[in-house]
Structure 1
């Protein structure tokens, strides 16, 4: 569990906050996962939106709360919790309502696999939801990111920020390459093949009851579909499962794609289809 020590938190005002406070961004996949979970639990919480495109997560104030500069981040009666899956495991203990983690050890293991694909989702998202052009954070922003925050998690030196910095530097220098997209899509195809098998004869990913695993993969599958991934063609059971969840209360309202962003994504995918670099084309599955 990633709970920060008091010495990790430089923006000390949050240590006095009462109740549940969620730092999030509307379009962040991990934030969407937390918001769906909280909605299904019927929990009361206070939201604090951190605008990622404006690099508000690199501000001194926010890095003083989460030294990794990521969202979501939860403050629960003054205790700061980071990393979305750890936050969810904490909240399952903290909140009542319908159980969404029936087998904690098993779900924690399966969520690690989902978490390993996070940078792959970011790769595909950036390629197919933005118009062609520079990708990445400004050099000034990355300098603030490197220098900001305590640099510790749990009272010990934290190296996790290095992975984020490496991603942004690569994106700025090389962009999102066709090779990176093919590799990311290949890993997702293998993972979704596994989900397709799980859904054979089952309503949900762990049987006939909704679980946190469904919430996590709903967010990923929806994002991939919006990026042009041929979900219905390659994984028809997953596609049907996604449609079912999208129609249930608490899901679609937390993952609304703003009209202006939908327009940009559609134009991006149109242009790349003309160039032969749309996602199905790079995967070699377009009919």
Structure 2
């Protein structure tokens, strides 16, 4: 099967993770945690997820000229990701995320963006030919919004399908949304985009209607353990979540997005791609960490056989 080319434009971080019984409240110190470091960043997580699922992936990002940045590029090369367009910033450090995870798998995250915040349209121009030769472009919002808008405009002009995971949550212009083929928000992100508080299938459908009216062809709202709602033009689908024992939800949404793109690149429908992604993200939440928790396609096949 000829794999279509997927370009991921986004962030690259090093995650510093503490696993504790519970998350601290403001001003509180919680003792007894365990610590480890992981490569992360939403862009990098989605690129690694897509590659492990069998995608043909180029990653466009920016790191600092430091040990974290250099280690990241070595890692992505080992994941069969094209790193020709990972730029090095001489003035800013690589991005870092501080993550606390509780005993139920819930997390809270603080990110120091570093070099991610300096990935600019001028960098994208250097990667223009790579984007223009792609079939799908996947982005998130851990890089400057004007860079996201520039990529979406460039890709849309060339009739390249743009998939946006609007995380971290923020308001977006109607012009950007008109250049998006598929948008994949979670409940809180969908609420910011639509003004509808998303709690269940019906409210997710209302939110999807409002978001799609702004220009997106397809809206996929992820509802965590409740599953996912798809609005594909005038059709609605609901995909149940796969029931597993969650250990750490970090990167589950990123695996979902990366896997949806691989499904589409293989010629699957959006419904089939979301069903594939739901199973991949279910595996992810049974493991600790970001990229360390991302399954391979072979692991997904084994998982399917055991269901």
Q: Greater share of strand residues, 1 or 2?
A: 2
Shared fold per TM-score greater than 0.5:
no
Give 1 or 2 for the bigger CA radius of gyration: 1
**What's the TM-score, normalizing by structure 2?**
0.28
Q: TM-score, normalised by structure 1?
A: 0.29
Which structure features the higher share of helix residues?
A: 1
More contact order relative to length (CA 8 Å, sep ≥ 6): 1
